Amino acid sequence: MAFLGLTRIQEYLWFSFAGALCSFVLVYAIALRGPHGATPVRLTLVGVAVTAVFTGVSQSLALLRPQVFDQMRFWGAGSLADRPQGTLAVIVPFVLAGVFLALLTGRAANAMAMGDERAKTLGVPVTAVHVLMTVVITVLCGAATAAAGPIAFVGLMVPHAVRALTGPDQRWVLAFSVVLAPVLLLAADITGRLLVWPAELQAGIVTAFLGAPVLVLLVRRAERGGL
């Protein structure tokens, strides 16, 4: 938006995929440098830090270019409202493909939860699964962010809440998350519309308020050996 003047999702969707891939690689690479590797909590904390940096860069560009600020002010807060016509039609094929591929990784993810070496002894093609998961993360995060903006913490809250109900089987976690994540997002959107009516509080702001306590809870669980 700032440098190429792209304002339609058909134009910047591919940049969103590239951004999702670069962010994933950066977070994972930084998390791996720790003494215990890319643990769940370390990935979460590094992800939050990288998000803060990228958010600051985006806001700086928007402030330096007033016309870009006007285009980004709703998208940057994360909102389901006022989406341009045709947004859903553009992202649906990518979302469906990403969900389908994610569901295919469930059995392999169960084996890899015990460690890559153990998974290899069980016949899991670890490298291929890692590549497939990277594609899934890139497609789903890129499409969702391009459509609705950076709505944070949904992907953090929902799987952990589901795991408390279904147990550690990733196939059930994925299946229930596909249903409950949209429910949470719609609830946040409706709550934002009611809290400051007749004005509106963007869904991304509501999920941030909900997600911060969840992040604290995850860190405390990790300290007690819960993760």
Phi-psi label, residue 134: left if phi above 0, alpha if psi -120 to 50, beta otherwise: alpha
When mean pLDDT is compared across 13-17, 83-87, 169-173, the lowest value belongs to 83-87
Q: Give the pTM.
A: 0.77
In three-state secondary structure terms, 71 is helix
Mean pLDDT, residues 136-149 taken together: 87
Mean pLDDT, residues 130-135 taken together: 88
Of 140, 152, 143, 136, nearest in space to 13 by CA: 143
In three-state secondary structure terms, 222 is helix
Residue 97's pLDDT band, with cuts at 50, 70 and 90, is: very high
Domain locations in the chain as residue ranges: 151-227
pLDDT value for 226: 47
Round to whole Å and give the CA distance between 192 and 100.
31
pLDDT value for 126: 84
**Nearest-10 crossing angle of helices 40-64, 9-32:** 140
pLDDT value for 5: 74
How is residue 38 annotated by DSSP? S
* Cα end-to-end distance, the chain, whole Å: 40
Residues 161 and 211: beta-carbon distance below 8 Å: no
Res 225 pLDDT > 70: no
Residue 224's pLDDT band, with cuts at 50, 70 and 90, is: low
